[in-house]
Structure 1
Amino acid sequence: MDRRIKKTRQLIMDTFIDLLSEKEFEKITINDIAERADINRGTVYLHYLDKYDLLDKCIEKHIDLLLNHCANSSNTTLDASAIQSVFEYLEKNFTIYKLLLNNEGFGFFRSRLYVIIAQTVTEVIGKKSEGNKFSNGITTHFLTSGFIGVLEWWINNSMPCSVQEVTAQLLFLLEPYTRHLVSD
């Protein structure tokens, strides 16, 4: 892709994120974005169908960035380094993820995150639970819901504890489960 196209798309997305931090999504217009970015309104439409397309692309981009970070920093396990890596990344990029989690109507972000975490949990359970009494479906959704709940609580409350504390607590809570998987 041409550098100018990448640069323009990034400018539009950054401007959109800035506007999201100031006002509700429904009140943002393409004119607002173009004016703030100091570009023609038609330029925004050259890159995005409308503000909903821009929102979808923004969510996808930040989901992909989180996934790429996690993929580069660990394998598909539910160990301390994997959990800590997720929270370290969220800490570094707190503002954007708080916006994506807090804005009403952005259920798509949460849904995508849920699917991705559930896939990882399913892979881990599949590797460790052969012959186990646990239902993979119930276990996957229980662990995924709990993890997403903790993640949302941590972000929505402006990181009330350190990355190390939240990682240690999650590992403590997962310990009885992982012990059952290994011993059964």
Structure 2
Amino acid sequence: MTDQKITETFLALLDTVGYQKISVSAIVKKARINRSTFYEHFLDKEDLMAQVQTRLITKIVEGLPEVTVLKLDDHELIDSRINLLIHRIYDHKEAIKLFLSDKSDGLFTARFSVFSEQFLIDGNIVQAIDLPDVYVFSIFQGMILNLIKIWIERDFIETPEEFAKIISRISPKTMRLLMD
């Protein structure tokens, strides 16, 4: 309960004043808790931000259908994974929009990248592409994250279904192309 109160207060401050202007003092004052209570839950505001962003990313990616290099031709599976991912992003669009804005700490993309790298490793996709890992990660992270950022900047003009179709047309074909 206290953790949620701190998080909600932090997000409200993030939206109004921005990350750089937030202090632990401002959080505890607005949340009406003791400073020691804050430190029972978080090390500092950086830890709070990292935990809030990581929890959100985990909510978005957990339980997605597993895609491996052997399943890249399973269009239903790939479409299902992409569709679910895009809907989850859309369901959390305000928080994601905030974390990608200049009001945030600028680390959301890097934190999201860790999860996408793990997907490429777990699915043996990195190993199937004859390029150094760093470039494989860069290709897919840059492509997907930039498309998502553009979708957000355009204020989600496409429905999640329409946007998922765009990703479904690009992502698997790019993976297969790089494996050839």
Tell me, yes or no, whether TM beats 0.5: yes
Q: Distance in 2 between matches of 1:104 and 1:56?
A: 15
Residue 55 of structure 1: aligned partner: 49
**Code of the aligned partner of 2:87:** E
Cα pair distance change 1:121/1:43, threshold 3 Å: same
The 2-side partners of 1:52 and 1:177 are apart by 36
Give 1:40-51 correspondences, 5 Å limit.
40-51=34-45
2:116–2:141: 8 Å Cα contact kept in structure 1? yes
Give 1:8 deviation, angstroms. 0.8
| C-alpha distance 33-80 of structure 1, shift in aligned 2 (>3 A) | same
Structure 1 runs (4+) deviating above 4 angstroms are 178-182
Q: Percent identity?
A: 24
Q: Counterpart of 1:95?
A: 94
Q: Which residue of 1 aligns with 2:6?
A: 12
Contact map agreement 2:86 2:160 (CA 8 A) in 1: yes
Within a 5 Å distance, the mapping from 1:31-180 to structure 2 comes to 31-68=25-62, 72-76=63-67, 79-103=78-102, 106-124=105-123, 126=125, 129=128, 134-135=130-131, 137=133, 138-174=135-171, 176-177=173-174, 180=177
Structure 1 residues 25, 140: CA separation in 2 closer, same or farther (over 3 Å shift)?
closer
Q: 1:4: which partner in 2?
A: none
Give the TM-score, by structure 1 length.
0.78
List gaps (5 residues or longer) in structure 2: 73-77
Alignment coverage as a number of residue pairs = 171
Please report the TM-score for the alignment, with normalisation by the length of structure 2: 0.80
SS at 2:107 equivalent: helix
Distance change >3 Å, CA 57–CA 22, structure 1 → 2: same
Give the distance between the partners of 1:181 and 1:56, measured in 2 at CA: 33
Residue type of the alignment partner of 1:159: F
Single out whichever of 31-40 and 169-178 deviates more from structure 2: 169-178
Q: Distance in 2 between matches of 1:57 and 1:176?
A: 34
Change (3 A) 1:146 1:178: closer
User: CA offset at residue 17 of structure 1?
Assistant: 0.7
Counterparts in 2 of 1:29 and 1:92: CA distance versus 1, 3 Å: same
Is the Cα–Cα contact under 8 Å of residues 31 and 41 in structure 1 kept in the other structure? yes
Shift of 1:25: 0.9
